[in-house]
Amino acid sequence: MSTFSMHTHTCDELRPEDIGSMVTLTGWVWHRRDHGGLIFIDLRDREGVTQISFDPDNSGGTAFHTAETVRSEWPIKVEGVVRKRPEGMENPKLGTGEIEVLVSSIEVLNTAKTPAFQIEDRLEVSEDVRLRYRYLDLRRPSMMENMRLRSDFTFAIREALHKRAFMEVETPALFKSTPEGARDFIVPSRLQPGNFYALPQSPQLLKQLLMVGGVERYYQVAKCFRDEDLRADRQPEFTQVDVEMSFVEQEDVMAALEDVLADAFAAVGVTMPKPLPRLTYAEAMDTYGTDKPDTRFGMELHDVTELFANSKFKIFATAANSEGQVVKCINAKGAGRWPRSQIDKLANVAATFGAKGLAWIAFREDGSINSPIVKFFSDEEMEGLRAECDVEPGDLVMFAAGERILSCEILGGMRSHMAKAMELPLEGHDFLWVVDFPLVHWDEDRKAYAAEHQPFTQPEEADIERLESDPLSVGSHTYDFVMDGYEAGGGGMRVHNAELQMRILKLLGFTEEGAREQFGFLLDALEYGAPPMGGFALGLDRVCMLLAGCDSIREVMAFPKTSNGNDLMSDAPSAVGGKQLKEVSLRLL
């Protein structure tokens, strides 16, 4: 029996063993059926549904008369006796499907306007309407299930961390810029006119300072704020399970994380293998064309650079003979049956991944070949290709030629596109580590080196001497946690030496003064006996989205924002009055 409540049982609790008991239930009127002399209501609470029935012959008919007046989504409290449902009226889909409650008294706790949409899992209403009335949307059983899944998973991960001596520490939301590669949200200070706080993009610097402070094992279910253009799996504020450890090496951190994650997934019925498979960044790019591969399906990238070294097809030959360039392909089995018009459209898809065009060969079921490029291929090239890609009738081979990483990314993009387009079956969940990312990459827009993970990542020790002379060749102590083809988490070991940290900041384009101004507090702290440290952050929203089988993180957030960053329920962001602006010494442009 539940306690601390107006009811004796939830709407998912009563079973045949309870037949004959007097019970009190509370919940919302879901469906109401008037069967002439009898009224049935499906009473719904967050746990489930119980059928309650009203009979004019019961208790002088008062309850029956009230039941005639109640409408959908009114909250009510009923008292009655549990009885067996009549033969043939059972509902095997409901936990409570064998019983009903014959109501002797009913109390209407409130009335309700007719909702903008029916509280049903199958909805034919725009997401905007759902977000405008999110409090009604949350009443839908599938949403409540998502909320519960998230709560269970979060609780389990907290428990798993706590059990391993991690300490939960809160860090401030009003802080200084903490770069993770996005734009900051800024908050004007009233007490110091003209100065601003930045909302943390993650607690990165603070958790490193906690390690200097001796916390040794830290975690926090932390809100992070990044002012980015939004996509289905991005929101301006999101939650990370943030972790940091000190006096550790990379393998210690990864092993601890595997234990914690496996426990948390197990708590929601998902088995995560231990140890997790690992791919290096280079392997992941070369084999799958992405640093977050979904390995539940193959369609791996083939390197055919050598094969086309003397090709009459100029584009391939040029790439094959240029330093740092490749010719690669994937074989989408089955897509060779697609009509020409459908295959032609793939060039547009490839363009979204940065391709200038798409070379392809369709091997038709009747043994014929359809392709704009094979006329340039020699017999040896065709034979070599068939052998390398295990070609069969019905296959579609697609190529990319040029700079290695870009070519891999184009085919990686096509690989996921084709998997979706062909509806390849994806069984269960897929977990792996991608490790050994480069320390930096060249950012063409800014014309500067940018941190691949973030600016505080520990370089591979043996590569440190090349930090200035050949930065792109410097490796790092990094690991991404990939789930179902999403980057579900990431972390690394940190620089714990002030001098090295300054060298890296300079490599990233900071002047010494600029670095001091922004990160002086970190650089200072590193000079006071900072221990070796490393950590990780798990994207809680993304993981919950994948666990719930949804395709947007909005489905696992109680009050998400739209892609324009609006909260449709409260209408945030909204204008503030002149007085409020004046208080923080701001005037609008």
Residues that bind ligand ASP (CB under 6 A): 180, 202, 204, 240, 454, 490-492, 535-537
Beta strand 167-168 with 186-188: parallel, antiparallel or unpaired?
Answer: unpaired
Min CB(180)–ligand ASP separation in Å: 5
User: How would you write 214-231 as a 3-class SS string?
Assistant: CCCEEEEEEEEECCCCCC
The nearer residue to ligand ASP, 96 or 202, going by C-beta atoms, is: 202
The nearer residue to ligand ASP, 202 or 287, going by C-beta atoms, is: 202
The nearer residue to ligand ASP, 200 or 293, going by C-beta atoms, is: 200
Q: What is the DSSP letter of 303?
A: E
Q: What is the DSSP letter of 532?
A: P
* 577 residue type, one letter: G
* 181 residue type, one letter: G
Min CB(165)–ligand ASP separation in Å: 18
The nearer residue to ligand ASP, 181 or 565, going by C-beta atoms, is: 181
How many Å is the Cα radius of gyration of the chain?
Answer: 30
Query: Cα dist. 273→234, 278, 281 in Å?
Result: 27, 12, 20
Q: What is the DSSP letter of 221?
A: E
The nearer residue to ligand ASP, 315 or 526, going by C-beta atoms, is: 526
Min CB(539)–ligand ASP separation in Å: 8
Min CB(477)–ligand ASP separation in Å: 11
The nearer residue to ligand ASP, 316 or 479, going by C-beta atoms, is: 479
Min CB(537)–ligand ASP separation in Å: 4
Min CB(490)–ligand ASP separation in Å: 5
52 forms bridges with which residues in the sheet?
Answer: 41, 101
d(CA 93, CA 142): 15
d(CA 535, CA 415): 31
Min CB(545)–ligand ASP separation in Å: 17
Helices then strands, counting H and E runs in the chain, come out as 16, 22
CA 215 to chain centre: 29
Query: Cα dist. 28→41, 112, 292, 523, 571 in Å?
Result: 10, 10, 44, 57, 27
Min CB(224)–ligand ASP separation in Å: 7
The nearer residue to ligand ASP, 413 or 491, going by C-beta atoms, is: 491
The nearer residue to ligand ASP, 402 or 490, going by C-beta atoms, is: 490
User: How many Å from the N-terminal Cα to the C-terminal Cα in the chain?
Assistant: 61
